[in-house]
Amino acid sequence: HPSAARGSNASVATTATSPKGTLEIGQDWREHGNRLFRAGDYRGARDCYSQALQNAPANSVVLSNRAAACLMLQDWDDAVKDAFDAIRHDPANARACERGARGLLLLNRLAEGAHFCRSRLNALTSEQQGCEEWRPLVAIGQRIAAHERALRQMEQMLNATDGALREYDASRIV
């Protein structure tokens, strides 16, 4: 049952069937999950991808698809886990890399996200870096770097303010 893999979903019985009947083959589950995802039924899609993974647990594409569904469901932790599982099975899966980076950003794990993006992008050939499929990862890497810079600036401002307050308090005591 698809819901056994990830959370419970009362509508699984209806979303996990096709006009041909109960889906039993991993490819059918993936394709049905893709249809549900496109229709905006992210929970149903996630459940179908979970069922597809029962037949092929190392399928990087299905893991990445389930990560996408988890992102849409705001289940950031599972999205990151699935994306990194997908990358472990296929390091060249650009979509999984982008989804993992986006999940880290949404979890506010900026240092980890920046390191991940840098290491993935540094591993690419110059031809790969120019490919359309890697552009989303480049964009996420730039967003994470911008967030990191903004946080550093805020920390510097807070430290400066804290120092000024301490000096002010010390001058009042004297």
Q: What domain range includes position 145? A: 91-174
In the chain, the number of structural domains is: 1
pLDDT at 139: 87
CA–CA separation, 124 vs 139, rounded Å? 15
pLDDT at 4: 38
H helical segments located in 3-75: 12-15, 26-38, 42-55, 60-72
Give a yes or no: residue 120 inside a domain.
yes
CA–CA separation, 116 vs 8, rounded Å? 32
Give a yes or no: residue 4 inside a domain.
no
Tokens in use for 124? 């690419």
Give a yes or no: residue 146 inside a domain.
yes
pLDDT at 5: 42
Q: What is the mean pLDDT of each run of 10 residues along the chain (174 residues)?
A: 39 42 72 97 98 93 98 98 97 94 92 89 84 87 87 89 74 67
| DSSP per-residue letters across 54-71 | HH-TT-HHHHHHHHHHHH
Tokens in use for 131? 């490919």
pLDDT at 27: 87
Spatial neighbors of 50 by CB under 8 A, at least 6 apart, are 2, 3, 4, 5, 6, 66
Give a yes or no: residue 131 inside a domain.
yes
Give a yes or no: residue 76 inside a domain.
no
Give a yes or no: residue 70 inside a domain.
no
pLDDT at 75: 98
| DSSP per-residue letters across 87-126 | HHH-TT-HHHHHHHHHHHHHTT-HHHHHHHHHHHHHTS-H
pLDDT at 141: 85
Give a yes or no: residue 25 inside a domain.
no
Q: Is the pTM of this model over 0.75?
A: no
pLDDT at 174: 59
Give a yes or no: residue 59 inside a domain.
no
